[in-house]
Structure 1
Amino acid sequence: MTRTHIPGILAMAAVVVASNILVQFLFGQWLTWGAFTYPIAFLVTDLMNRLYGKAAARRVVFAGFIVGVACSFVGTQIMGEFGPLVTWRIAIGSGLAFLTAQLLDVAIFDRLREGRWWRAPLASTLVGSSVDTALFFTIAFSGALSFIEPGNDVSWAGEALPLLGAGPVVPLWVSLAVADWMVKLCLALVALIPFRLIVSWALSSPRMA
């Protein structure tokens, strides 16, 4: 690790910590505030990949993973109104989803880095975000995986309701996942703006010359 990696590591750590805090606060019926901060992790990874290469991006991902594991462990020790703030299923789902999705993002970005400037960050973020959402919500809330933490009752997440209140009847956790996924997709598009601006600024800086 070099000093050039420190801003990326600090940014990733800040995103992970903020998201772990904000996920405790609801935004409407289907989301938490953490849904709006967590996707920034993909922006951080893509910026490091573009500016310093895939090895640097992977270091930032592993740093974020370690911070996330620490946050999850702290959350399992804090008791809320309905039990620990973070259950072991959520902790496992969060860690596995983060690491898998971010490393996939790094690999896809690297494969597409020679194309048009927007292809690599957009494609890698869209795929990574989709995998992240699918893994986390399935591991954390699917009734089929209750054996992961038998003492954790997630029957509330399996309540059959119309998708996002208006679609076909599905388990509640599926609506939560779809809402989260839609936010990630929207932010993947929005993130192209700061990606372009930061890369242009960084490459024009004498330190990057």
Structure 2
Amino acid sequence: MKQLLPGILAMAAIVVASNILVQFLYGQWLTLGAFTYPFAFLVTDLTNRFQGAAAARKVVVVGFVVGVVCSFVGTQIMGEFGPLVTLRVAMGSGAAFLLAQLVDITVFNRFRQGQWWKAPFISTLVGATLDTLVFFTIAFAAALTFLEPGNDVAWANESLPLLGFGPLAPLWVSLAVADWSVKMLLAFVALIPFRLIVGRFTTRVA
């Protein structure tokens, strides 16, 4: 368990920071949390690379539990329009995190023996895409109103030009596309620390 401590602490810090920063808007389509959360995939991939899939799953489970606690705390804090975290947002967040991270681990293992960048990049691409689809659909899609009838998500389903200039789409779709775009950008950026950390560790072992 001691060997997992760096990964656990890093994952917990990212999850807590993201849950706090998601309350602060960045432009029209994003929150500050969009810039911290994607690094959870980096933590998962590094743990997987150094300690294997089983260890990575344990780190993910800890991150999931921390996220659930954060969501519960958010449901108890009242903002201007109600709880800071609604039931649908909590459900979407938890389901998206757990499913996306576990898929990330599986995909990473599939490409583990290939070129160094393939496993972290492809696994993050697949996991982050799944994360975005699951979270925004559960949290805001009108078709899933039955999950929390008392939560009015009409604002998220208002038809607006996609990202302000594209075809008409529900607002939540623009939020999802913007969020996914940041995840893809950071998937590229995260290759740098992944390469440096793996290279340094490999050098020390050699």
When the two structures are superposed, what TM-score results if normalisation uses the length of structure 2?
Answer: 0.99
- Segments of 4+ moved more than 4 angstroms: none
1:97, 1:179 → 2: CA distance? 17
Kindly state the Cα deviation for residue 111 of structure 1 after the two structures are TM-superposed: 1.1
State the SS of the aligned residue for 2:115. coil
- 1:142-181 alignment, distance < 5 Å: 142-181=141-180
Kindly state the Cα deviation for residue 3 of structure 1 after the two structures are TM-superposed: 1.2
- 1:61-140 alignment, distance < 5 Å: 61-140=60-139
Indicate yes or no: 2:38 matched with 1:39.
yes
| Structure-2 residue corresponding to 1:192 | 191
Cα deviation, 1:48-92, whole Å, max 9, x if unaligned, reads 000111011101000000000000000000000100000000000
**Identity rate of aligned residues, in percent?**
71
1:36, 1:136 → 2: CA distance? 16
Cα deviation, 1:3-57, whole Å, max 9, x if unaligned, reads 1110000000000000000000000000000000000000000000001110111
State the SS of the aligned residue for 1:47. helix
2:198, 2:99 → 1: CA distance? 25
| Structure-2 residue corresponding to 1:10 | 9
2:60, 2:109 → 1: CA distance? 14
1:138, 1:34 → 2: CA distance? 18
2:26, 2:204 → 1: CA distance? 39
The size of the alignment, in residue pairs, is 206
2:5, 2:204 → 1: CA distance? 17
Output the aligned Cα RMSD. Answer: 0.8
2:185, 2:22 → 1: CA distance? 18
Name the CA shift for 1:205/1:3 in 2 (closer, same or farther; >3 Å): farther
State the SS of the aligned residue for 2:116. coil
Which ranges in structure 2 are unaligned for 5 or more consecutive residues? none
State the SS of the aligned residue for 1:205. helix
Kindly state the Cα deviation for residue 201 of structure 1 after the two structures are TM-superposed: 1.4
State the SS of the aligned residue for 1:117. coil
Which ranges in structure 1 are unaligned for 5 or more consecutive residues? none
2:155, 2:146 → 1: CA distance? 16
When the two structures are superposed, what TM-score results if normalisation uses the length of structure 1?
Answer: 0.97
